[in-house]
Structure 1
Amino acid sequence: MALAIRDVREHDLDAVLALNNAAGRSILALDAAQLRYFYERAEYFRVAEIDGQLAGFLMALRDGGNYDSPNYRWFSDHYESFVYIDRIVIGNAFRRHGLGRILYCDVTSYAEVRVPLLTCEVFLEPRDDVVVLFHGTYGFQEVGQQRMGDSGPQVSLLAKDLPSYAYVRETWLENGGLPDEPWLAERELPVPATSLPTSQPRRLAGERRP
């Protein structure tokens, strides 16, 4: 089995959209315009590919954006610097093989050299104890709860401290920046050509399933 974790490419978007919308009620559905919004703006957007087949993906955004998700806004109101995991989706045929942990390790590697905190949320309605346990064993702690909108689900807002960041900041970020290494490179964002239609709800945040 050949596994590759790489930045999403434009030709992946149809497969990503299908994977997202087949994930069930624990993942909020997207349309093509909403997915392109992430493609054009998400600092971290990587796919897991097994033997050439798209098996899963993870999308995350940095602080300071204009993303109109109530959960992203909650973290923006409470923390100055963070990476926010919007959603992770693993295809049905590839679940229970550790891909969720692999993608979480990868996004942690991305985040810990840039910010002190990795954040996300999990749905409490319906509650999935496997998901809650996954995040607890990976070092996340609850820092708050809120309801998504007037009638949306209750969510647990989670954060994970990244202790490596202080060393990276003092050693590199405050002294010229990160080394010029491929694994440290930023994702090259395409020039934004779209925005979310005003008639569409902009609440895009999705709960994650390992």
Structure 2
Amino acid sequence: MSIVIRDVREHELDSVLALNNAAGAAILPLDAAKIRFFFDHAEYFRVAEVDGLLAGFLIALSQDAPHDSPNFRWFQQHYDRFIYIDRIVVAGSRRGAGLGRVFYADLQSFAEVRSPRIACEVFLEPGNDIALLFHGTFGFHEAGRQLMPGVERHVSLLVKELCSWPWVRDTYGESLPEQPWLATRPLPGRQPALATGT
């Protein structure tokens, strides 16, 4: 099995939307406008190709994104800096093959030179022990809980502190080395650029 993790391409947004909306109750549905919002604002929007076919995606935003999610806003109120995982989706036929772990390892590599922490939430209703265990094995801990407005489901708000961040910040400040693997994805109004730690 060949797995490639790469930035999403604009012509794939319809496929990503279909994958999201086929994921079941654990993932909130999206429409074309929201997928476009993520394409325009997400610091991290990558897909997984397995044997050449789209098999999943992960979307994450910095604390500065104009995101209206009540869970994202909770993190904004409690932390000055973070990378927020809005969603991860793996195609039903590829679940259990480790793609979630591959995505999280890739996201951590992306985040640890940009932020002191990763944030996300997990629905607690219906029982979601597998998702909680998955996040716990990655070093996430619960920072709070809330009843998500509009959805009326309780969520566990999770945070993972990135132990490498203080060293990166103290060593490089806001100017990381010019390396291709540190480049950020191009967003509207911003040219492709190297990570700056902001």
- Aligned residue for 1:42? 42
The aligned counterpart of 2:11 is 11
1:121 aligns with 2:124: no
CA distance in structure 2 between the aligned counterparts of 1:48 and 1:170, rounded to whole angstroms: 33
Superposition CA RMSD, Å: 1.3
- Whole-angstrom CA distance in 2 between matches of 1:133 and 1:41: 29
User: 1:13 & 1:133 partners in 2: Cα distance?
Assistant: 30
Change (3 A) 1:32 1:163: same
1:3-41 C-alpha deviation (Å, 9 max, x unpaired): 111000001111101100000011000011111010011
Within 5 A, what are the aligned runs for 1:52-63?
Answer: 52-63=52-63
Query: Secondary structure of the residue that 2:166 maps to in structure 1?
Result: helix
The question of 1:33 aligning with 2:36 is answered no
CA distance in 2, matches of 1:150, 1:41: 23
Write the distance in 2 (CA, Å) between the matches of 1:10 and 1:28.
Answer: 21
Task: State the TM-score, normalized to the length of structure 1.
Answer: 0.88
Structure 1 unmatched ranges of 5 or more = 193-210
Give 1:133 deviation, angstroms.
0.4
Q: Deviations over 1:60-88 (max 9, x none)?
A: 00012221110000000000000000000
Equivalent residue pairs, number: 190
Once the two structures are TM-superposed, the CA of residue 173 in structure 1 deviates from its matched residue by 2.2
Distance 2:96 2:2 in 1: 17
1:105 positional shift = 0.5
Render the CA deviation track for 1:172-210: whole Å, top value 9, x for unaligned: 125xx1111111111111459xxxxxxxxxxxxxxxxxx
Contact 1:40 1:191 in 2 (8 A): no
The yes-or-no answer on 1:184 pairing with 2:182 is yes
The AA in structure 2 aligned to 1:113 is V
CA distance in 1, matches of 2:158, 2:94: 25
Distance in 2, matches of 1:123 and 1:98, equals: 21
**Higher RCO, 1 vs 2 (CA within 8 Å, ≥6 residues apart):** 1
The residue correspondences of 1:69-108 to structure 2 (distance < 5 A) are 69-108=69-108
Counterparts of 1:101-180 in structure 2 under 5 Å? 101-149=101-149, 152-174=152-174, 177-180=175-178
Q: Secondary structure at the match of 1:105?
A: helix
Identity of aligned residues (%): 59
- Matched letter for residue 181 of structure 2: W
Distance in 1 of aligned mates of 2:189 and 2:29: 24
**What one-letter code is carried by the residue in structure 1 that aligns with 2:49?**
E
5+ long unaligned stretches in structure 2: 191-198
The CA distance in 2 between the partners of 1:51 and 1:4, in whole Å, is: 8
Shift of 1:150: 5.8
Q: 1:120-157 CA distances to partner (integer Å, 9 max, x unpaired)? A: 00000112111110001110000000011165100000
CA contact (8 A) 2:42 2:65 kept: no
Runs of 4+ in 1 over 3 A off after TM superposition: none
Q: 1:9 to 1:191 in 2, by over 3 A?
A: farther
